[in-house]
Amino acid sequence: MNQQKTLTLSDVISKMKSVSPDDIALITKAHDFAMDAHKDLKRFSGEPYFVHLIGTAYNLAELGMGPITVAAGFLHDSIEDVPVPAETIQREFGSEILFLVEGVTKLGKIRYKGSERHNESLRKLFIATSQDIRVLIIKLADRLHNIGTLQFVRPEKQVRIATETLQIYAPIAYRLGIRKLSRQLEDLSFPYVYPEEYRKVKDLLKEKKNETEKSLSKFQKNLHKELAKNDYRDVSIQYRIKGLFSLWWKLQKKGNDIEKIYDINAVRVIVPTVADCYQVLGLVHTVWRPLPGRIKDYIAFPKPNGYRSIYTTIFVGDGTIVEIQIKTKEMYEEGEYGIASHISYKEGGHSKSKTNFHWIQQLLSRIPITTKDQPQSSTVTPKWIKDLVEYQKHNLDNDSYQHNLQGDYLKERIFVFTPRGDVVDLPIDSTPIDFAYTIHSDIGNHTVGAKINGKYSTLSEKLKNGEIVEIESRKNGKPNIKWLDFVKTTIAQRHIRNYFELPARPSKKSKSPKKAKLKRKIIQIKTIIFIFLYFFM
């Protein structure tokens, strides 16, 4: 995305799809507000801080995001950096934009610590705490701008930010199917994290490019001609060179032999319909000879992540080979923008947007669901996901279900880490004692001390999202009856009561069986969604 040229409001608006006058008014207001609020701040580059805000908003527009998200992109640093009071944003822009801005601010507080085991947990944590996928997308757009202007930051910080981007942000973008963003993040971080490898791969690619450029441009012309001869006029042909980072990655897998990598050059042919895809494939094969074993039909058999396209690799003469990817426009958009291409749902102030969990529904709807007619994909869709999607189809109008899914389930939970990097999910305000009993009752029963982020803490300290908790236990350690005053989890309460042989706490007034059943069902669904978050990562 464009980092060189000075961006203007009209650049942002012209990148957006179908904007109404109301949308333009909103974006303009956010633009002016952000420019004024940050007027005294500067970037490391010496440029006004606002450059970063308009850069982020532009990235969001390019991802196809709606006016609310683009406006939130302008405002995303205003609570943290200026600071503008939350009430002001609420009053000027409403609660949905405030929700997004606060979400991005909170996400910024999750710290990257660097161990491999920790990283996987951190990715889960990011996804789980975002609540609304738009928060995560703003964070990614923000990172894309920062990584594009990294040359102005001091060297140690460059390496830290670029490593974090490679290990956390790019994989998240990839798993959300926003492959375009994932590639950009990787290629921009690559030179800072692996400078030598970067130079090598760059030289290698340059050499290869010089070799093949002529025959590829000739091929492109010929392909155009062939398609036109057969009355394919509504076709777009794009040429792409493999990203440096993914080339490096693949080189390592192929014994550093660039001749074994067939998708360095790829030509995308974008056609109107699925039938056209197969016809164009036939046409290409009648003119150019395909490489055996390289024809892949991801339309009939989509990849587990839902990706669809037809691939073939052909000889175009002079020994040059090129991969051809044939797809419809819809497949292309979905392949490049993933979940972002699905959430251009009506943003724009008329209806109250369904924020929480709506994105999980979006995500679920992208997973191919097995029916009896398509037994082939049965291995990729676990039964419980199918059940959940089925359940959703039948219950989308059910108010209580919607209400409960949009409720504050995730807001009532915190995620903390073990020293080895595993995530432990606890109710809000949990303490090291709750943590200890959640790990194992034996650890709980012998706890004598705790460290949070490496520093000693009291056992009643309230834990916060993202903290690393370490429990000190000793053989002769035993529970203290005062722990009952502050523990939050039932598991801790139960074990402490057992130890002191206290009766179990009297259960609260029992509810009507019907209500209890509904409640059980809701808890079930919430659990499934939780498991889904972990499964998906």
Output the smallest distance, CB 87 to Mn ion, in A: 21
β-strand pairing of 321-328 with 265-271 = parallel
Q: Using the minimum distance from each CB to Mn ion, give the nearer residue, 37 or 314.
A: 37
456 bridge partner residues? 451
Q: Determine the interface stretch with Mn ion among 140-148, 402-410, 449-457, 520-528 (rule: CB under 5 A).
A: 140-148
Any catalytic annotation for residue 81? yes
Output the smallest distance, CB 35 to Mn ion, in A: 15
C-alpha span between 208 and 15 (Å, rounded):
34
Sequence-separated (6 or more) residues with CB below 8 Å from residue 509: none
C-alpha span between 388 and 531 (Å, rounded):
12
C-alpha span between 228 and 280 (Å, rounded):
11
On whether the CB atoms of residues 296 and 272 are closer than 8 A, the answer is: no
Output the smallest distance, CB 142 to Mn ion, in A: 4
CA 254 to chain centre: 28
> Closest by alpha carbon to 67, among 9, 139, 13?
13
Output the smallest distance, CB 317 to Mn ion, in A: 49
Dihedral (Cα; 45, 49, 55, 57), 10-degree rounding: 170
Q: Which two tokens stand for residue 288?
A: 């150019």
Site size toward Mn ion, by CB under 5 A: 2
Output the smallest distance, CB 152 to Mn ion, in A: 14
Q: Using the minimum distance from each CB to Mn ion, give the nearer residue, 77 or 470.
A: 77
Output the smallest distance, CB 52 to Mn ion, in A: 6
Q: Using the minimum distance from each CB to Mn ion, give the nearer residue, 62 or 77.
A: 77
Lay out the site mask for Mn ion across 351-380 (x = CB under 5 A, - = otherwise).
------------------------------
Q: Using the minimum distance from each CB to Mn ion, give the nearer residue, 77 or 434.
A: 77
Q: Using the minimum distance from each CB to Mn ion, give the nearer residue, 82 or 533.
A: 82
Q: Which two tokens stand for residue 93?
A: 């822009």
Lay out the site mask for Mn ion across 8-47 (x = CB under 5 A, - = otherwise).
----------------------------------------
Q: Determine the interface stretch with Mn ion among 134-142, 269-277, 409-417, 471-479 (rule: CB under 5 A).
A: 134-142
Q: Determine the interface stretch with Mn ion among 125-133, 137-145, 153-161, 228-236 (rule: CB under 5 A).
A: 137-145
C-alpha span between 489 and 409 (Å, rounded):
15
Site for Mn ion in 104-133 (CB under 5 A): none
> Is residue 451 helix, strand or coil?
strand
Any catalytic annotation for residue 47? no
Q: Which residue is nearest to Mn ion (CB)?
A: 142
Site for Mn ion in 165-224 (CB under 5 A): none
Output the smallest distance, CB 30 to Mn ion, in A: 14
Output the smallest distance, CB 61 to Mn ion, in A: 16
> Is residue 270 helix, strand or coil?
strand
Catalytic residue among 11, 81, 187, 330: 81
Q: Using the minimum distance from each CB to Mn ion, give the nearer residue, 185 or 283.
A: 185
102 binds Mn ion (CB under 5 A): no
Q: Determine the interface stretch with Mn ion among 141-149, 358-366, 477-485, 509-517 (rule: CB under 5 A).
A: 141-149
C-alpha span between 333 and 322 (Å, rounded):
22
Q: Using the minimum distance from each CB to Mn ion, give the nearer residue, 132 or 142.
A: 142
**CA angle, 186 then 307 then 17, to 5°:** 75
Cα separation values, 56 from 50, 62, 75, 342, 510, Å: 10, 10, 10, 20, 51
Lay out the site mask for Mn ion across 47-86 (x = CB under 5 A, - = otherwise).
------------------------------x---------
Q: Using the minimum distance from each CB to Mn ion, give the nearer residue, 48 or 477.
A: 48
Q: φ and ψ at 183, to 5 degrees?
A: -65, -45
Beta strand ranges found along 273-380 (DSSP E): 289-290, 296-297, 310-315, 321-328
142 binds Mn ion (CB under 5 A): yes
> Is residue 328 helix, strand or coil?
strand
C-alpha span between 19 and 15 (Å, rounded):
10
On whether the CB atoms of residues 119 and 167 are closer than 8 A, the answer is: yes
Catalytic residue among 80, 330, 461, 472: 80
Q: Which two tokens stand for residue 333?
A: 């958009």
Binding site for Mn ion (CB under 5 A): 77, 142
Q: Which residues are part of the catalytic machinery?
A: 80-81
